[in-house]
Amino acid sequence: MTELIEITIDGRKVAVEKGTKILSAAKELGIEIPTLCHHEALPPDGNCRLCQVEVVERGKRKLAVSCMYPVRGPMEVFTNTERVMDARRSVIRLHLNRCPQATILQDLAREYGVEPLDERFVAEHDDLCIRCGRCVRACAALGNNCLGFAGRGWDRTIIPPFDEPPVGCLGCAACAEVCPTGAIKVREEGNIREIWGREFRLVRCTSCGEYFATKEQLEKVDSCGVEVSEICPHCRKRDEAKRMKIS
């Protein structure tokens, strides 16, 4: 059996398995910590630095990124001290400097009382990407690893390899789905979905007739040895619910 460790978050006690990340421990207590790059279904990456909290462990007090910081022993965590708020404010300000148009950042800035940037530093560009890498992780988990970071420093971008339309892309749009700022553009018109400079043909649900997935997506599912049903998730849920009712 895994070891249980009792930790204190904002004065409340919770026992969690060793190795649990602070963010999940806080969630168990219903304490909310803001995040941008974190996604429940994806491995944490600690990119956005927004989820910082203050940790007191073995007599040391420090800031830690809660989505990555594992509980290894008794510790006390504070999620809303002045130091934490300061750290978050500066993170938000930095992100906002890069992506002044992102509504999620504008909302955060309002919530945390981040002073608007000096006009001289507001970049005139419509970059919405905060380089959190959610799309990269989503593509690694669900797609064909078609996205990656390129370059470094300020010039770091997220693009398909060689900056060409990605050959292995399934058109599943998972990257766009998980993007916190809506930086990845998907265009859907009739039975065509366009993403990353490629066009994909959409397949209709055999039950309700709605377009729901690309041909490539279904082929990938097929290649995984799972039986392919050309029924959209919505109809599948409904059918499943009906079946349960009957039995």
Partner 1 sequence: MLAILQDIQEKEHYISVDVMRSVACYLDVPESRVYSVATFYKALSLVPLGKNVIKMCNGTACHIRGSPEVMKAFEKELGIKNGETTEDGMFTLQTVNCLGACALAPVVTVNGRVFGKVRVKDVPCIIQEVREDETE
Residues at the contact surface with partner 1, assessed by CB under 8 A? 136, 139-140, 144-152, 160-162
Beta-carbon contacts of residue 91 (< 8 Å; ≥ 6 apart): 48, 49, 50, 52
CB of 246 to partner 1, least distance (A): 45
Residue 29 or residue 142: which is nearer to partner 1 going by CB? 142
Angle between helices 103-112 and 82-98 (to 10 degrees): 150
Q: Are 186 and 196 in contact (CB under 8 A)?
A: no
CB of 150 to partner 1, least distance (A): 4
CB of 155 to partner 1, least distance (A): 9
Query: Rounded to the nearest 5°, which phi and psi values hold at 90?
Result: -70, -35
Residue 92 or residue 147: which is nearer to partner 1 going by CB? 147
CB of 199 to partner 1, least distance (A): 21
Distance between CA atoms of residues 209 and 9, nearest Å: 49
List of E strands, the chain: 4-9, 12-17, 52-57, 60-65, 76-78, 148-150, 157-159, 186-189, 192-195, 198-204, 211-214
Residue 160 or residue 171: which is nearer to partner 1 going by CB? 160
CB of 219 to partner 1, least distance (A): 18
DSSP 8-state symbol, 66: T
**C-alpha of 21 from chain center:** 16
**C-alpha of 237 from chain center:** 25
Residue 145 or residue 206: which is nearer to partner 1 going by CB? 145
Residue 7 or residue 174: which is nearer to partner 1 going by CB? 174
Distance between CA atoms of residues 197 and 165, nearest Å: 5
Distance between CA atoms of residues 213 and 173, nearest Å: 10
Residue 121 or residue 149: which is nearer to partner 1 going by CB? 149
CB of 123 to partner 1, least distance (A): 22
CB of 144 to partner 1, least distance (A): 8
Residue 108 or residue 146: which is nearer to partner 1 going by CB? 146
